[in-house]
Amino acid sequence: MFNFKSTQSILARSLLVSGLIFYAATPYAQNVSSDTTDIAEQSQAQSQAQWIESNRVSIVQNILNRLAPEAEEAGYEGWREELEVFLTDISAEQLLKAYHAQDYAGVVTAIRGGDPVQPQSYVQSSNLNSNKLLGDTFEDLVFTPLTPCRIIDTRIGGGGKFGVSETRQYSVNGNTSGQGGAVNCGVPGAGGEPPAVVLNITSTKALASGFLKVWQTGAAQPNASILNYTPAADIANASIIPSGLVGANEIQIFARQPTDVIVDVIGFFRKPERTAPDAIVTAENTVNVAANNFSGFLFSPSCPAGYRVSGGGSRWSNSAAGRSVIVSQPDTNLANNRWRCWGHNGTGAANNFHCRAICLSIPGH
């Protein structure tokens, strides 16, 4: 934080800004007339945030003018220009807290996210946001699409045309050429069988009107059919079929009347996988900060593709007393995917200030 000395040189006074009467927070407001209206009353016609944004320039100047005696007494150069940039960039909520701060240290606390006026209310509001839990591993499955690929064609394999009320078992992964399908359609196997597959099922060259049922091997035959067919046409339908049985022949097909059956796999579902986080630290960007001066905004390099900024840090080459880090937080423009830093060199010698980001890969699938 800033190391400006706290003084009693800030006089209680009314501040006329944009035609509205502002007043310093207690204990410096004893001389304000009783008919003075505060920010909450002024913002009845519009939200407080909107009102603050529409008067941001005046509020920032108010704060800077109020802090001038303390900053000038401390002998810091360039403080006004640097702080003006930062106050212009912060949120409306932070700016309101900075306005109510009673001294330079209080303004810095407000900028960094604290609240020198009503700390308890902001602690409570910070608990309103919580992370959502990850989905259930059995009910929330991840879909993986596939280029349509044949796994069954009874015209050329797989036992030939179905007979009357016949049931057969088939595999949905591995080499399905013996079923009239492809050598490998990309469905996981060897103990990694997916809980469900998406199949496009066709009845062709039927000898009589009937229906097909398709279900997981080992489960009871369902009452519902996948499709109804007639000899007059080829009929197709797509369906999601549970298929989590480990080993060969994960599904069963029942035909009520003789027909050939064609099955193409077009995707599968699998359980979410928790992957180990892959973290990297970017190189540091560096700026040389003159004695008794600010660094200004210093940004880290952006995280590479496939990674998101999750943290960061800043440091001085020589961390002598008087050198501080004011801000270390994500860039407010999230698309930049980087960290931003702001430091103050309160010593009599120049020094390098560094900023870096910590990046995490996007986990799971």
Would you say residue 1 lies in a domain?
A: no
Would you say residue 2 lies in a domain?
A: no
Domain limit, last residue, from 270, 290, 320: 270
Q: State the average pLDDT over residues 237-245.
A: 86
Q: Are 51 and 38 in contact (CB under 8 A)?
A: no
Q: How many domains does the chain have?
A: 3
Q: Are 154 and 180 in contact (CB under 8 A)?
A: yes
Report CA torsion sign: 172, 175, 181, 183: positive
Domain that holds residue 170: 142-270
Our measurement of the distance from residue 123's CA atom to the centroid of its chain's CA atoms, rounded to an integer in Å, reads: 23
The residue behind tokens 């310093």 is 24
78 with 189, same domain?
no
Summarize pLDDT for 154-197 with one digit per residue, the tens. 999 999 999 999 999 999 988 999 999 999 999 988 777 888 99
Q: State the average pLDDT over residues 9-22.
A: 30
Domain limit, last residue, from 92, 125, 158: 125
Q: Does 200 score more than 90 pLDDT?
A: yes
Q: Does 117 score more than 80 pLDDT?
A: no
Query: Which among 13-27, 198-212, 239-253, 270-284 has the top mean pLDDT?
Result: 198-212
Q: Are 106 and 62 in contact (CB under 8 A)?
A: no
Would you say residue 132 lies in a domain?
A: no
* Spatial CB neighbours of 39, under 8 Å, sequence gap ≥ 6: 22, 48, 51, 52, 96, 99
d(CA 80, CA 164): 90
- Residue 47: the pLDDT is 67
Would you say residue 284 lies in a domain?
A: yes
Query: Which among 37-46, 269-278, 297-306 has the top mean pLDDT?
Result: 297-306
Label residue 134 by pLDDT band (50, 70, 90): very low
- For 61, phi then psi, to 5°, come to -65, -35
Tokens representing residue 341 in the block: 């830093």
251 with 315, same domain?
no
147 with 230, same domain?
yes
CATH of the domain at 240: 2.60.120
Summarize pLDDT for 289-321 with one digit per residue, the tens. 999 999 999 999 999 988 999 999 999 998 888
Our measurement of the distance from residue 135's CA atom to the centroid of its chain's CA atoms, rounded to an integer in Å, reads: 16
Tokens representing residue 19 in the block: 């035609």
Tokens representing residue 75 in the block: 């002998």
Torsion of the alpha carbons at 77, 79, 85 and 86, rounded to the nearest 10: 140
pTM for the model stands at: 0.46
Task: Fill in the amino acid letter for 25.
Answer: A
Domain limit, last residue, from 96, 125, 154: 125
Q: Are 274 and 330 in contact (CB under 8 A)?
A: no
